[in-house]
Structure 1
Amino acid sequence: MFSHEGTALELLILVFGMTGVLLIAWFFHHQYELRVRKRVKKQRSPDKQPSPQNH
C-alpha cells in the first residue's frame, strides 16, 4: 500500500500507549487525592470551626 504505513502505525501505537499511561497515572493520582481528602475530613470533623463564608 503506502510506504509510510509502518511509521504511521508505530506513531499511532505510541500516541495511544502514552494516552493509556497518562490515564492510568491520572487514575492513581485521583484515588490518592480522594483518600487524602477523606483523611483530612475525618481529622477536622470534631473541630467544626465555622468558616468565614457562612456569615
Structure 2
Amino acid sequence: MRDEKMFSHEGTAIELLTLVFTVTGVLLIAWFIHHQYELRSRKRVKKQQGGSQQPSAQNR
C-alpha cells in the first residue's frame, strides 16, 4: 500500500515526458523540412543568377 502512494506521480511524469519528447520530435521534423526547403530554394536562386554576379558575403 505504501508503494502505491509513493509512486502515484509516476503516470503523470511519464505523460509529461512523452509530451515533451513528442513536441521536440515534431519541432525537429518541422525544422528539418524547413531547412531542406531553404537549401533547395537557395540552389534555384543561384541557378537563376548565373555566374555573372559576384557571390555575396551572406551566402555560406
- TM-score range for the pair, normalised by the shorter chain length: 0.7 to 0.9
For 2:10, the equivalent position in structure 1 comes to 5
Percent sequence identity over matched residues? 73
> Does structure 1 residue 38 correspond to structure 2 residue 43?
yes
Query: Structure 2 counterpart of 1:10, which letter?
Result: E
How many pairs are equivalent? Answer: 52
For 1:49, the equivalent position in structure 2 comes to 53
Normalised to the residue count of structure 1, the TM-score between the two structures is 0.82
Does the residue aligned with 1:49 lie in a helix, a strand or coil? coil
- Structure 2 gaps, min length 5: none
Query: Structure 2 counterpart of 1:49, which letter?
Result: Q
Does the residue aligned with 2:53 lie in a helix, a strand or coil? coil
Normalised to the residue count of structure 2, the TM-score between the two structures is 0.76
For 2:29, the equivalent position in structure 1 comes to 24
Q: Deviations over 1:3-35 (max 9, x none)?
A: 100000000000000000000000100000001
Q: Which runs of 4+ in 1 moved over 4 A?
A: none
